[in-house]
Structure formats: structure tokens, C-alpha cells
Structure 1
Amino acid sequence: MEYTHLGRSGLSVSRLVLGTMNFGQDTSEDDSHTIMDRAHEHGINFFDTANVYGVPQGEGVTEQIIGRWFATSGGRRDKTVLATKLYLPTGTWPNERFMSALNIRRAFEASLRRLRTDYIDLYQMHHIDRQTPWEEIWEAFSVLREQGKVLYFGSSNFAGWHIAQAQEAARSRHFLGLVSEQSIYNLMTRWIELEVLPAARHYGLGVIPWSPLHGGVLGGVLRKQKEGGASRGSSGRSVSTLARHRDTLERYERLCADLGEDPAHVGLAWLLAQEGVTGPIIGPRTVEQLDSSLRALSITLDDSTLAKLDELFPPPAPNGAKPAPEAYAW
């Protein structure tokens, strides 16, 4: 396994992040425990979850599954860099959502109980709260850090401007602020290259891409359809994406075939090659999917291949592959 620091922090994390969104939903508890065991066997030490994952929503089912896994062996928690999130509703009452100091306190303590731990390594805001002032958020977070209950804080689904607001507010309090941003990022969704990635690099945040294969569309969906296999990328929201981008995806899969690599592994390897990316979140539903994902760590994409991928999936900047503000003004 390869490791890197999470942003500018001294925290060492694996370059693949185990996503747990399927636990308790598409993956049984026993299988979830097996996947986490195997992740540790592979050296994956970075686990990501949220207080709303699992069904029924609001009960923190996924956090409970992880907590019971921790409880069965004393060494598991110590080997895990544990990240969870808050923001989305966990109930129907007004203060059971968003980023008020009250909800931060209640949501955090509830996550601790479900996860059966006394601290969280990385506590993340699942979304930006446009109503709660940063002074309130950072004060509530600083209390958790002073109590030794949280070591680092991160954001998710923030714009570049939100990152700047958060960091400048933290700086005014002489507080470390954010060390990571979790955002959708893949070959088909590259909008964060305009402002989020530049902001993250400027402030020293590690970027943690979610949906690295665009809901399975970049995982060889066309080949799997021809082979008659079931594919996550050929159902749900992915159907319309597949219809709009079939020609591009055919060319992408041919390129991967020429490389002798699986499209899913190429998609992950491309993210690992991007400056500022800590590691993509992989969300395996089975042990076999987890085992397969490690191939991405061994793939080095040369300049020619990277250029071909840019041709297939162009960067979003209207003036070429440049971040903001050059993308807009020069």
C-alpha cells in the first residue's frame, strides 16, 4: 500500500480510501466486516463514513456496523484513520440537521456512541451551511478539539470560495482549520479543477474524490453489457449518462483495452496522478471488488495516455486546461 499525508497535516493515510456507504444497504453486516478486515490486510487505513449512511436513514446504521466491528477487536480502531460527517437530517426536528453548535454537539456524541470510540480522526462537514456563521462553527469545533475528541476537520462538497471563507475564519482564531475537501471528481466530472482544486492546493487541503468512476459508468459498463453481466453503471441515474456519452465511453474502453488495463483501474489511476489528490474513495460491495481496486496503485499513466484522456474528457476551463481565474479572464 502507498501512503501520503492528508493535505498539509502530518497524518499518514492510504492512497485508497475505503468508502462504507454500501454497508447496511447493499452489503450485509457480515460482508461489511469481512471487507474491513481485508482492507486492513491490504494496508488500507483510511475509512470514510457518515452519520446518515445506511437504511433506514437517520439511525446511523453504517456507523453502527463499523462500531460493532471495532468492538470485536481492540486493535482495529488503532489501525484506522476514521472519518465521518454531519450536516444532513438525522430526524424531523429543526436542530437535527445543518451546522449549528447544538447539532454539532448532538450529532458528534451520537456518532461516537454508534462507532464505539472516544474520538474521531477526521470530522467532516457533509455540505456547506449558508446560514450558520463560521464563528459559531469553528467555536463548536474548537471545543471538540480541545477535549481531544476530534483531531482534524474536513469539508465535503464545498466550492472554492467556501474553502477560502472557512480557512480565513479559522486563521482569525489561530485554528488549524480544514485539512481536506471531499468532492465529486472523476474523468467525466472535472469541474473542481476550475476553483476547488486551486483553493485546496493553496490552503494545503488534501482532496478526497468521491464517485471516482461516475457511478460505475467509467468501470467498463459497455464491455460488461456485451458480456451479459450486471453493471451498476447501467441502472439508475447512470442510464441517461450512458446514453449521452456512449461514443466517448466506447473510445475510453478501447483505450483501456489497448493499455491492457481494466477501465475502472485506469479511472482510479488517473485520479491518483492528479496533483493534490490524497486518494479516491472506493466503495466495494464485495471483497472481490476491493481486491481488484488495488491494481490502480500499480498503474503509471504516461504523458501520451494522459493527453488522450484529456481529449476524451476535456478539462472544463474554456481557455484550455487552466484553473481559475485564468480560465475566465486570461
Structure 2
Amino acid sequence: MEFRHLGRSGLMVSEISYGNWITHGSQVEEDAARQCVRAALDEGITTFDTADVYAGTKAEEVLGRALAGVRRESLEIFTKVYWPTGSGPNDRGLSRKHITEALHGSLRRLQTDYVDLYQAHRFDNETPLEETLKTFDDLVRQGKVLYVGVSEWTAEQIGRALKIADEMGFDRLVSNQPQYSMLWRVIEAEVVPLSEKEGVGQVVFSPIAQGVLSGKYRPGQPPPAGSRATDETGGKNVISRMLTDDVLTRVQQLEPVAADLGLSMAQLAVAWVLQNPNVASAIVGASRPEQVRDNVKASGVKLESEVLRKIDDILGPIVERDPAKTVSPASRP
């Protein structure tokens, strides 16, 4: 496993992070989740990403139990706040009340005194940005949060937050967690240039496009049994928009590219996002330990420019590049 700085901070993170969106507490049983976490640790992954909203807070609980007994200083634990975790009007958003209460809940579920990175899971249009950033800064000063970041914010929103932090003397954002893959490149036009200039690193999710880039979904064929596309608890809805024959036909053409490099298609997909120097880490999820072991082999892989051009030629018009696709709810959900 290789390691990179998270943005311009001193924090080092593993190039491959383990994330439990959709899986822990939902798609896979706890014993399987524990096996996946153990495989991640065995393969040198030190960075673990979750969120309070995943599986209605159950994902944090599962991860906390899976990591119990592991030396805390050897881990980087990330979580997030924004989406509803209760039925009350203040059980959502980025107000001082919700952020503070949500963090205490996350710490309890994760069985830790602090998180290494606390992330605003979306932009809250109903809370003054100054209030959100001051609350984050207070939690850093209390030692409950070491670094702060955001997830799926636009370049304009990130820029505003950095300006306020500089003016008010708050801790700056060190990271953004966007969706990023060969198929979904909406951060490249605006978010990445700003982030490179300001020292913000990307911790990207869905580098394998929820499994589409693994090659297991075939055009004209039903999805494999037990795959994310058959998961009625949430995975199916997330992945369905990419399971078109046009997308799947082009993805199949990546198979010989990966084979020539001695990589699986999933390894090629993860290695591809890591070619972007602004990416600090790629988050992978898994329902089986062997998926973790396969994905980590992408760490340290260097793709030549000719390979990158070939990938671009194959995927062509199915790549999404519009930065306007990064959207937070207009009002709290």
C-alpha cells in the first residue's frame, strides 16, 4: 500500500480507502463486513470512510465494532454529517446544533474519542456558512475532530468556505469527497483546478462506478445474482442509470486494455482515478474479502499516457463531464 498527503495537510492516508456506503448494516451481514474490514487491514489500508446516514447509523456501528481492538493511532477514520438521522427538524443539515449532536452520536457508534476527518456531506443552503465553519473549528479545538472536509460541494461553495476560513481564522478545509470515475468526471473542469490551487485533496467515491467498471454487468443480460444491481435496499436505485447497453458495451471494450496491463477491470478503474495527482485516496467498498484484496492491487500502478488516451477513445460520449451535475438539495431533506 502506498500513501499520500490529504491535500496540503500533514495527514497521510492510504491510496485505497475502505468505505461502507450501502454495504455495512444493509447489503451484507455483519460477519461478512468484519471479514472485509480485516482484509482491508491485512492489505495495508489504514483509512476508513463512513457516514452517520449510511444504513440509518448502523454502518457506523458495524465499522466501530469491526475496528475495536485495532490501535487507534494506526487508523484514519472519516465520517460525515448532513443527511437526516432522525425525524426532528434539527436532525439534519449543518447547523451548530445538528453538527455537534451528530458528531457525538458518530463518536459513540464508532467507539472512538475523535475522528480524523469530519465532512459536510452536502452543502446546506439553510445554514449560514459561517455558522457551519465556526462549529467545525470549535470541534477541532476541542480535539474531537482533527481535520475538516466536505463532500460533493461545487468549486464555488468550496471557494466561499476557504475565503471565510481565511478571514475568520478557522481551520481550512483539507478535502472534498466527490464521485469520480472513468465514467463520471464532473470535478475535472472546476473543482480540481481550484483544489490544486488551494491545497484541497480529493477522497473519491465510486471509482468503479458502483461496480459497472468491473465488467461483471453485460449488455443485454440480467445483472448477476447478489450484485449491487439486485439489492432492493438501495444499491439497485444507485446503479440503474448506468446499466444501459451503450455504457455496458463500451465498458466491455476496456477488458483487453486491462488484460494487456495484467490488471483486472476493477484494478484498472481504481488505478485510473489515482493517476489524478489531486486525488489523495480512492474509496472502495466490498461485500466479500476477495474484492478488497483485488482492489488494493491498484495502489502504486502507473498508467502510461497512451493507455489513458485509449480509455478516453473507448468511453468517448458516455463520459459525464458537466460540473453542474454536482448538486446539493435546495432545502434540507
Normalising by the smaller structure, the TM-score range is 0.7 to 0.9
| Coordinate RMSD, CA, aligned | 2.3
Please say if residues 183 and 320 of structure 2, whose CA atoms lie closer than 8 Å, have aligned partners that are also in contact: no
Match of 2:284 among 269, 275, 282: 282
Structure 2 CA distance, aligned partners of 1:249 and 1:69?
A: 34
1:270 is paired with a residue whose SS is helix
Distance 1:29 1:61 in 2: 10
Q: Choose which of 202, 205, 208 in structure 2 pairs with 1:210.
A: 205
Structure 1: distance between partners of 2:221 and 2:256: 14
Q: Which residue of 2 aligns with 1:24?
A: 25
Distance 1:260 1:203 in 2: 36
Pairwise mapping of residues 57-136 of structure 1 onto structure 2 (< 5 A)?
57=56, 60-71=57-68, 73=69, 75-136=70-131
Tell me: higher relative CO, structure 1 or 2? Use CA pairs within 8 A at least 6 residues apart. Answer: 2
Distance 1:239 1:118, change over 3 A: closer
Provide closer, same or farther for how the CA distance between residues 228 and 247 of structure 1 changes in structure 2, counting only shifts above 3 A: closer
Counterpart secondary structure, 2:78: strand
CA contact (8 A) 2:2 2:300 kept: no
Q: Indicate the residue corresponding to 1:313 in structure 2.
A: 315
Per-residue CA deviation, residues 249-283 of structure 1 (Å, 9 max, x unaligned), is 23222332343421111111111111201111000
Residue identity over aligned pairs, in percent, reads: 37
Provide the C-alpha distance between the structure 2 equivalents of 1:106 and 1:261, rounded to a whole number of angstroms: 44
Cα separation, partners in 2 of 1:68 and 1:256, compared to 1, 3 Å: closer
- Deviation string, structure 1 residues 161-192 (Cα, Å, up to 9, x no partner): 11101111111112231101000000111111
Say if 1:215 and 1:232, in contact at 8 Å, map to a contact too: no
Tell me the distance in 1 between the aligned counterparts of 2:256 and 2:228. 17
* Superposition pairs of residues 228-239 of structure 1, within 5 angstroms: 230=225, 232=227, 235=230, 236-237=236-237, 238-239=239-240
Question: 1:153 is matched with which residue: 138, 148, 151?
Answer: 148
Shift of 1:19: 0.4
Q: Which runs of 5+ in 2 are unaligned?
A: 231-235, 323-333
Question: Aligned pair in 2 of structure 1 residues 37, 164: CA closer, same or farther (>3 Å)?
Answer: same
Equivalent residues, number? 312
Secondary structure of 2:176's match? strand
Match of 1:299 in 2: 301
Q: Given that residues 52 and 60 in structure 2 are in contact (C-alpha distance below 8 angstroms), is that contact kept between their aligned partners in structure 1?
A: yes
Q: Is the CA contact 2:274–2:281 (under 8 Å) kept in the aligned structure 1? A: yes
Alignment partners' CA distance in 2, 1:145 and 1:226:
50
The answer for the alignment partner of 1:257 in structure 2 is 259
Query: Normalized against structure 2, the TM-score is what?
Result: 0.87
For residues 216 and 231 of structure 1, do their structure 2 counterparts lie closer, same or farther at Cα, with a shift above 3 Å needed?
farther
Contact 1:6-1:12 within 8 A present in 2 as well: yes
More displaced stretch, 245-254 vs 203-212:
245-254
Q: Secondary structure in 1 aligned to 2:87?
A: coil
Residue 41 (structure 1) aligns with: 42
Match of 1:169 among 164, 172, 180: 164
AA at the equivalent of 1:17: S
Deviation of the 1:11 alpha carbon: 0.5
Cα distance between partner residues in 2 of 1:162 and 1:29: 37
Residue of structure 2 equivalent to 1:324: none
Provide closer, same or farther for how the CA distance between residues 35 and 131 of structure 1 changes in structure 2, counting only shifts above 3 A: same
Does the CA-based 8 Å contact 1:45-1:81 persist in structure 2?
A: yes
Q: Is the 8 A contact 2:251 2:315 kept in 1?
A: no
Q: Hey, what does 2:4 align to over in structure 1?
A: 4
CA contact (8 A) 1:154 1:181 kept: yes
Amino acid at match of 2:59: T
User: How far does the alpha carbon of each residue in 1:96-129 deviate from its partner, in whole angstroms, 9 at most, with x for none?
Assistant: 0000011011111111111111111100000011
Which amino acid counterpart does residue 76 of structure 2 have in structure 1? Answer: V
